[in-house]
Structure 1
Amino acid sequence: MADLDFFIGDEALSHFKSSGLYSLRSPIRHGQVNDWDTMERFWQQSIFNYLRCNPEEHYFLLTDSPVSTPESRECMGEIMFETFNVPGLYISVQSVLSLSAGFAYLKSLSEEDSEDSVSDMTGVVVDIGDGAPHIVPVVNGYVIGSSIKSFPLSGSDVTQFVMQLLQERGELLPPDDALDIARRVKETYCYTPSDIVKEFKKHDSKPSKYIKQWSAIKPKTGVPYTVDIGYERFLGPEIFFHPEMYSPDFSTPLPELIDSCVQSAPIDTRRALYKNIVLSGGTTMFKDFHKRLQNNIKKIVDERVAETNARHRVEVKCCHTKEDYEEHGASICRTSTVFKGMY
């Protein structure tokens, strides 16, 4: 039976803000489950209250972090089999599902009706969500664990940076809603420029054209207020290309880390990996993010092979579903021939 006093997501935030009777818990930190009791209650609520199904009558597919430990997967299996009595369970790496969903979507747009090949499941998945970003090379559907790279900045860091910039500029944000306002500003107005210096000049020459305004009402007093949004629109996503702007502890840009990931993979797979870089996660949804990333990686590669005749074609795949790639990947897992023999 579902726990009636346990809430998830926006519903949990709503009850937390409206009543002092609840506390917030996050069972997952940096992509790793650190509170199995809360995780079990989360699954219980999801299965019985949201999916409204009997787990004993359905096979289950769970996604897992690419850096998860065998002990963590064993614990997942133990809970699903012993607590929920599921008849079957498949645990897949999130990046493999993202790659499959990206391939399936792009194939649906193509007029060619060619047979699937093993190269369809070869590529680099750049997974940047609200936390624990990873760059994962996948060859023929299998993750190259030794080449996985972690990027320390995520969507939550962009939100914090936008809030910090607004406060430093003197914008009066309600303390209780400052983080939520920064998140909404990030999702609504932020974009990725091709050249940050030119972007500063554009904003300075025509501020009225590029400055946006965010209007809201203070929740406690009911007084309306307005926030001007200027440089924050492009400085927020810029931390992926100049991370030293936000954190002095890390200075390696995301394009260089992707290139390092590919270079650490077996040499006979690198060309295929460069040809298929898939973006996954809501933080990759910034306008022109994929173009900036592709241009920067291509520049790095071209500089390295300038003295040879060889050229790697760098292509960053982008489509409107990448925010939900993991969910789309799971839905086609049992029907796609790519996963034949794996499920």
Structure 2
Amino acid sequence: MDPTSRPAVVIDNGTGYTKMGFAGNVEPCFILPTVVAANESFLSQPKSSLKGSWAAQHNAGVAADMDFFIGDEALAKSRSSSTYNLRYPIEHGQVEDWDAMERYWQQCVFNYLRCDPEDHYFLLTESPLTPPESREYTGEILFETFNVPGLYIAVNSVLALAAGYTTSKCEMTGVVVDVGDGATRVVPVAEGYVIASCIKSIPIAGKDVTLFIQQLMRERGENIPPEDSFDVARKVKEMYCYTCSDIVKEYNKHDKEPGKYIKQWKGVKPKTGAPYTCDVGYERFLGPEVFFNPEIYSNDFITSLPAVIDKCIQSAPIDTRRALYKNIVLSGGSTMFKDFGRRLQRDLKKIVDARVLANNARTGGEITSQPVEVNVVSHPVQKFAVWFGGSVLSSTPEFFASCRTKEEYEECGASICRTNPVFKGMY
């Protein structure tokens, strides 16, 4: 059967979580932590214990290759057995461990999606600053190991922009604010093309919010087992955190009505099974605040996210700036805090309006600048916006024509994966 008659497989590998599923769906089939637990006890045995024979050593290597888990299963295995080592293949949006990444894809395809890779075209995502060599490695693994008929490697920011449209016409000029677990990037896109020279990155992301919450709870002396403290902080972030409009007012609210605002976290100690409780207080609004006042968390980086977005747009070509301010799309799980988009729009509008006023004052009123429209787009699928954009993109007829095929790979080699055409099929 022709692979183009089947839905493409869409896999969005993020630093913290991987989203996977089939083209045409609204939601991914699985969302798993991007982590591999490999049983490396076979290979760490001394050669004498393997009787020194080649066969015994070879069998140990095969056993080590077969015995691994990914996602939540990997985390559970590492807790229950010391022979499993956790490996995080992606750091700050870039693949650092290709062996672990190949194992991860293997489990995604065969264990979770349960499909034959030879029967489906594949769409994978990458960070805007991924080096071309990385795309070659990806192409080699997909074409050689999995024997896929076609592959398209899409820039995640462009997909997020495609997911954020609110009308029948998809607007492909805008700024993507992608706040994931390991990286935060502000990426301007004009007519579907990334303006690479204007991309801004900031060293504060979802994991830093978790670490900050963990630090606040530890300093307050909450009764949380040390081995569980990071997981508890992550769950507190996902369940209770929100963005406030004014820190001082929020402190006063908590102090006046602690019963209303302070939540209780209940857990079980992993070693003894004894229950424990702890309070969740100021960290509910202080966690997300690190994006707007980073100085409360870090002395090294003190520029707020709205200021970084403004710098990014101001460095873009002048004829694109108004369109970029008008379409700022949120993407990634760490933008899901309540009122995050509203606060971002308010703070950014203040910066832009102050500049317009200053320019008008400088010219003495002879030349007046028109007000700049600032619009931050929040939408229901922003948590997995990149995956949803990939699902939309790979459902179009033009997708299959734009993919790199197995035949092209065999003829030209892995270098064909260095570039992928941007096509206008959906907008």
Q: Please, what TM-score do these two structures have when normalized by structure 2?
A: 0.75
Amino acid at match of 1:32: Q
1:151 corresponds, among 193, 199, 202, to 202
Kindly report which structure 2 residues correspond to 1:32-51, keeping only aligned pairs within 5 A, or say none: 32-51=94-113
Q: What is the CA distance between 1:297 and its match in structure 2?
A: 0.4
Give 3-state SS (helix, strand or coil) of 1:261's partner: helix
C-alpha separation between the residues in 2 aligned to 1:20 and 1:202?
46
C-alpha separation between the residues in 1 aligned to 2:394 and 2:240?
38
Kindly report which structure 2 residues correspond to 1:202-281, keeping only aligned pairs within 5 A, or say none: 202-281=253-332
2:115 corresponds, among 38, 41, 53, to 53
Corresponding residue number in structure 2 for 1:111: none
Which structure shows the bigger proportion of residues in strand conformation? 2
1:282 corresponds, among 299, 311, 333, to 333
Corresponding residue number in structure 2 for 1:110: none
C-alpha separation between the residues in 2 aligned to 1:71 and 1:291?
39
Kindly report which structure 2 residues correspond to 1:6-155, keeping only aligned pairs within 5 A, or say none: 6-103=68-165, 106-107=166-167, 116=169, 120-155=171-206
Amino acid at match of 1:281: G
2:221 corresponds, among 167, 170, 177, to 170
C-alpha separation between the residues in 2 aligned to 1:314 and 1:299?
10
2:390 corresponds, among 304, 310, 330, to 330
Is the deviation greater in 134-143 or in 40-49? Answer: 40-49
Unmatched tracts of structure 1, length 5 or more: 108-113
Q: What is the CA distance between 1:4 and its match in structure 2?
A: 4.7
> 8 Å contact 1:305–1:311 — kept in the other structure?
yes
C-alpha separation between the residues in 2 aligned to 1:131 and 1:163?
16
> 8 Å contact 2:160–2:176 — kept in the other structure?
yes
Corresponding residue number in structure 2 for 1:300: 351
1:321 aligns to 2:372 (yes or no): no
Is the deviation greater in 181-190 or in 44-53? Answer: 44-53
Q: RMSD between aligned alpha carbons?
A: 1.9
> 8 Å contact 2:187–2:198 — kept in the other structure?
yes
> Percent same amino acid at aligned positions?
64
After superposition, the C-alpha distances for 1:281-339 in whole angstroms (9 at most, x for unaligned) are 10000000111000000000000011233111111111221001111111111335997
Give 3-state SS (helix, strand or coil) of 1:7's partner: strand
Q: What is the CA distance between 1:223 and its match in structure 2?
A: 2.1
C-alpha separation between the residues in 2 aligned to 1:142 and 1:21?
46
> 8 Å contact 1:126–1:278 — kept in the other structure?
yes
C-alpha separation between the residues in 1 aligned to 2:145 and 2:246?
54
Give 3-state SS (helix, strand or coil) of 2:129's partner: coil
Task: Flag the structure with larger Rg.
Answer: 2
C-alpha separation between the residues in 1 aligned to 2:211 and 2:258?
24
C-alpha separation between the residues in 1 aligned to 2:245 and 2:392?
35
Amino acid at match of 2:215: Q
Q: What is the CA distance between 1:43 and its match in structure 2?
A: 1.3
Corresponding residue number in structure 1 for 2:59: none
CA 1:63 to 1:93, structure 2 compared with 1: closer, same or farther past 3 Å?
same
Amino acid at match of 2:240: Y
> 8 Å contact 2:123–2:394 — kept in the other structure?
no
Q: Aligned pairs, how many?
A: 332
**Where does structure 1 differ by over 2 angstroms across 4 or more consecutive aligned residues?**
334-343
Give 3-state SS (helix, strand or coil) of 1:24's partner: strand
Q: What is the CA distance between 1:279 and its match in structure 2?
A: 0.6
Corresponding residue number in structure 2 for 1:309: 369
1:182 aligns to 2:233 (yes or no): yes
CA 1:144 to 1:252, structure 2 compared with 1: closer, same or farther past 3 Å?
same
Q: Please, what TM-score do these two structures have when normalized by structure 1?
A: 0.93
C-alpha separation between the residues in 1 aligned to 2:135 and 2:226?
40
> 8 Å contact 1:121–1:338 — kept in the other structure?
no
Unmatched tracts of structure 2, length 5 or more: 1-64, 361-367, 403-421
Q: What is the CA distance between 1:222 and its match in structure 2?
A: 2.3
After superposition, the C-alpha distances for 1:32-70 in whole angstroms (9 at most, x for unaligned) are 111111111111221122222222221111100111011
